[in-house]
Structures are given as C-alpha cells and as structure tokens.
C-alpha cells in the first residue's frame, strides 16, 4: 500500500503552479490533524489489508505544517497498521529558513526523505518564478537537509523565458555538487488558470522553442550521467536503487490511497477523488468514487508506465489486461513507431531514450 497525504497550503501562490494549493492567513492545525486522522479511519478496512510501503506528504507546502501533524499521523499508522521495515516517508519542502529550521523535528516525526522545491539558484529566475526564497537560502536548505537526512532530492525548472541551452548547462553545472542521489528536472509548462497562462496569452513572455527545449532535455541526461545519475523517468534522475519508491508506485500503476483536499486514489479498480476546496474537504471528504472501466485502466496504465525509462513489463501488462495488452494498442501506430525506432519491445515495451522528450505524443498515438 502506498499512502499520499495532501497539505493544501502555501505562503504564496507561484504564478506557474496549478497544484491544489491555497494561501490562508490562519490555519487551525488541530482541526486539520483531526480531519486527516478521521479520513484515514474511513480507510481502516483497506490499510489493514496490506503493509504500508511508502508515505508521501505532498502539497502545497507540507513543510509549513507544524511537525506534530506528520508526527501524530505517522505514529497513528504505526500503532494500527503494518509498516514496511524499509518504509520511505517523504515530505515536500520549500527552502525558506523558517521551514528549514523544522527539519530535525520532521526527522524525529519519522520522515526519512525530503523533496525540496529549489526551482533555480539564479535570482532573476527565482523572481520570475515568484519564489519566496533566494538562491543562497536554497543552498543553505540543501546543506542543512543533507546533514540531517540520508535521502533527499530537489526540483529545478528549465526552459524558462530567455534561457538558452548554454545558460541551462551552467545552471546544471552549478547544481551538480548539491545533488546526492536523486533530482527532478521539470520543463516549465504553462498551465490553464495560472497567472503565467494569462501573461503568456498576452505575449508578455516567450518560451524557448521545441528544438531548444529538447536540447536542454538531452544535455540534462548527459550531464547527470557523469554523476552516475540515471534518468529513470521523463523528469527524474537517480543513482541505481535510489529512485523515489512512492512515485514509482504511480508509474508502475500500483494501488495507492490519497488523503486530503483534491487527493485521488486508485484502489481495487476504483478511482476516488477527494473534495478540492480545503474548507469543504473538512466537511465532505469524498467527492467522487467511480469504478474504472477497462479502457480507463488501459489509458492510465500506458500514460504512467511509458514515462519510465524501463517501460512497461509485458508480463504484468498481460496479467492486468487478459493477455491482450499488445493487441489493445493501435497496431498501425505501434508498427510505425517500431519501424522508426521510437519504441522497442522485448520483455518490456519502452520508448527509445532519444524520443522520451515526446513521450506524451507517442503514448497518445498508441492509445488511438
Ligand atoms: C507541488 S510542487 C511542491 C513543492 C513545493 N511546494 C515547492 O514549490 O517547492 C512540486 C514541483 O512541481 C514543479 N512544478 C509545479 N508547477 C510546474 C510547472 N508549471 N512547470 C514545471 N514544473 C512545475 C516544481 O518544480 C515543484 O517543485
Ligand atoms: S509551486 Fe509549490 S509553493 Fe508554489 S504554489 Fe505550487 S505548491 Fe505552492
């Protein structure tokens, strides 16, 4: 079992972000803790069934939580359920100093992995991205976190306006010494409903073209390979054996339970979606519960699995889809992609590394 807990609050809303994150003057932490515990109890029948292998506190900015919240949740889970001896418990954090000062408490609470949203070390880029921290604060946060936790990762965003391949290469080189064994590199995407979306529509900034973005993507893998970090998913790089176990569960289409505003779950063939608005969630937790059709499952399975460099294991895919996995793909597209070398099939169906940058269009083609 894999458990996700969503903390929906941030200090400020970043102009590019369409995650379910909100700014509130005051938060009643006790009320929130009680709501999480209640929501977990609703899934007691499920949590009893299987060992908990990963827990992920995501957001929003969960490092803004008072540490007694994850502490109480984790000890509640230990008291009631079986937790794997090597459980991975991740917390997403922002690099402002207030949050960094709580890291020892988070460790005491049982967190054993931090995922830090650095985004950039460059002040102009951080200002453009509307971040609340400086590059120096990010460095201080990484140093502090690396002295407390064995396992940590951080995120950078690239393909920013005015950034060329050389500038990204320099940023990557700057970041290299701070990476231990895991890092996520996201290409900036312009999401509907964000401030960036309207600015972009009004032509207030332009993004690097596809060719430049794809060069940036390729040099990322090359440079990180020098540090023995393998690209294991479109945007994720890790030393062998240090991949995020929680995120792997999504990409490998395992069952997971999501608790908190807007969190979703895939449980025993059902999709569960929780209420989005934080205060509404406190009153009504579940917004939708729907049995997934075979078509839904097939699409999700492909969308997730083909993001992984190792691809989709044919044996497991056949177990899930009545031994008809390959037949369910668009045969015309599959043959074309195979002939052109965009995908390969052996024990795994996978996208060739060079074409990972256009993974989404390949996947859409295969679903057609
Ligand atoms: C949910 S955020 C949580 C992390 C934390 N709140 C923070 O901002 O540092 C997870 C990551 O998604 C990435 N992200 C969010 N929106 C993005 C966008 N529009 N384009 C590229 N990356 C994005 C950022 O790198 C961010 O660190
Ligand atoms: S990027 Fe992180 S800090 Fe910024 S609004 Fe999104 S979740 Fe909050």
For residue 159, the model assigns a pLDDT of: 98
For residue 348, the model assigns a pLDDT of: 97
For residue 271 the two structure tokens come to: 């999709």
pLDDT digits (tens, 9 = 90+) for 77-105: 999 999 999 999 999 999 987 788 899 99
Q: What is the C-alpha to C-alpha distance for residues 248 and 267, in angstroms, rounded to an integer?
A: 16
For residue 99, the model assigns a pLDDT of: 80
Cα angle 39, 44, 47; round to 5:
105
β-bridge mates for residue 133, sequence order: none
Between the CA of 157 and the centroid of ligand 1 the distance, in Å, is 8
With a Cβ cut-off of 6 Å, ligand 2 is lined by 10, 13-14, 17, 19, 21, 59-61, 94, 117
Residue pointed to by tokens 């890291």: 103
Extended beta strands in 208-260, E state: 230-233, 236-238, 256-259
For residue 100, the model assigns a pLDDT of: 82
Residues 6+ away with beta carbon under 8 Å from 179? 154, 224, 227, 229
Query: Which residue lies with its CA nearest to atom 6 of ligand 2?
Result: 17
Query: Which residue lies with its CA nearest to atom 6 of ligand 1?
Result: 61
Cβ(132) – ligand 1 distance below 6 Å: no
This prediction has a pTM of 0.97
Please write down the HEC assignment for all residues of 302-339.
HHHHCCECCCEEHHHHHHHCCCCHHHHCCHHHHHHHHH
Residues 6+ away with beta carbon under 8 Å from 237? 182, 183, 184, 185, 220, 221, 224, 229, 230, 231
For residue 98, the model assigns a pLDDT of: 73
The parts of the chain modelled with pLDDT lower than 70 are: none
């Amino acid at each position: 079992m894999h458990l996700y807990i969503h903390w929906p609050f941030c200090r400020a809303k970043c102009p590019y972000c369409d995650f379910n994150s909100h700014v509130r003057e005051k938060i009643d932490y006790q009320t929130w803790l009680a709501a999480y515990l209640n929501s977990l109890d609703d899934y007691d029948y499920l949590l009893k069934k299987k060992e908990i292998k990963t827990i992920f506190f995501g957001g929003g900015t969960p490092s803004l939580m008072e540490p007694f919240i994850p502490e109480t949740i984790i000890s509640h889970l230990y008291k009631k359920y079986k937790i794997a001896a090597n459980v991975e418990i991740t917390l997403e954090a922002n690099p402002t100093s207030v949050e960094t000062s709580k890291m020892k408490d988070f460790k005491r609470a049982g967190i054993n992995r931090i995922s830090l949203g650095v985004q950039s070390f460059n002040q102009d880029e951080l200002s453009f991205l509307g971040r609340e921290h400086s590059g120096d604060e990010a460095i201080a946060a990484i140093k502090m976190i690396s002295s407390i936790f064995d396992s940590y990762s951080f995120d950078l965003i690239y393909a920013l306006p005015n950034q060329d391949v050389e500038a990204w290469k320099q940023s990557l080189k700057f970041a290299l010494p701070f990476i231990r064994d895991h890092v996520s590199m996201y290409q900036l995407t312009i999401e509907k409903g964000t401030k960036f979306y309207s600015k972009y529509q009004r032509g207030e900034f332009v993004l690097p073209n596809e060719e430049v973005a794809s060069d940036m993507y390729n040099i990322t893998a090359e440079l990180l390979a020098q540090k023995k970090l393998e690209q294991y998913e479109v945007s994720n790089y890790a030393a062998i054996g240090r991949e995020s176990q929680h995120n792997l569960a999504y990409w490998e289409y395992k069952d997971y339970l999501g608790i908190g505003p807007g969190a979703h779950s895939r449980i025993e063939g059902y999709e569960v979606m929780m209420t989005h608005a934080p205060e509404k969630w406190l009153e009504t937790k579940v917004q939708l519960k729907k049995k997934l059709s075979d078509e839904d499952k097939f699409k999700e399975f492909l969308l997730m699995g083909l993001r992984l460099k190792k691809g989709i294991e044919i044996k497991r895919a056949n177990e899930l889809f009545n031994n008809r996995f390959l037949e369910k793909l668009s045969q015309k597209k599959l043959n074309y992609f195979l002939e052109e070398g965009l995908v390969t099939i052996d024990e795994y169906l996978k996208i060739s590394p060079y074409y990972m940058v256009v993974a989404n269009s390949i996947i859409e083609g295969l679903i057609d």
